[in-house]
Amino acid sequence: MERHCLSLLVENNFGVLARISGLFARRGYNIDSLTVGTTEDERFSRITMVVTADEQTLEQIKKQLNKLINVIKVIELKQGEAIRRELVFVKVKADDRTRTNIVEISNLFRASVVDVAKESLVLEITGTLSKVDAFLDMIEPYGIMEFVRSGVTGLQRGKHMIG
């Protein structure tokens, strides 16, 4: 089974997200990550979701989503054909002895320090899943206190558009 990133253009109406998540629950599908926001046209929202599925299950998911009345279009954001990124905030234990090392690691990954406290740093990183995971692996020995991931969002490259 592989991870697939789907982008949905939907009507910006009350209950659309509930209907989509209900479809997944009824069918026994899991959503690994989910982001939602309005588009340049306030009548529409874009939902980006990551699902783990084989090809047959993925096709079934797409067909079921396309049957929903408020769903206008469903596309897969494939590796190389789309830009996919995730935003992560991570709070790491940091003292006078470790703070410099953590900042150096952050600089290597182009992460930003967004908050400094006596016993911790809050770092912000944006990137692909593999970049974010590699960063988290590197700072984990210092003590991750907590983190939050936005979920993947993305757009197709070039002139291709969902709508």
Q: How many helices and strands in the chain, by DSSP H and E?
A: 4, 9
Residues in CB range of 97: below 8 A, 6 or more apart: none
Which residues of the chain form CATH 3.30.70.260? 2-76
With cut-offs at 50, 70 and 90, classify the pLDDT of residue 49: very high
The fold adopted by the segment(s) 2-76 is: Alpha-Beta Plaits (3.30.70)
Is 93:143 a contact under the CB 8 Å cutoff? yes
* C-beta atoms surrounding 85 within 10 Å: 15
The arithmetic mean of pLDDT across residues 120-149, rounded, is 97
Angle ∠(137,142,143) on CA atoms, nearest 5: 90
Architecture of domain 83-153: 2-Layer Sandwich (3.30)
3-class SS at 32? coil
pLDDT of 35 reads 95
Which residues of the chain form CATH 3.30.70.1150? 83-153
CA distance 8 to 49: 8
**Cut 0.75: pTM above it:** yes
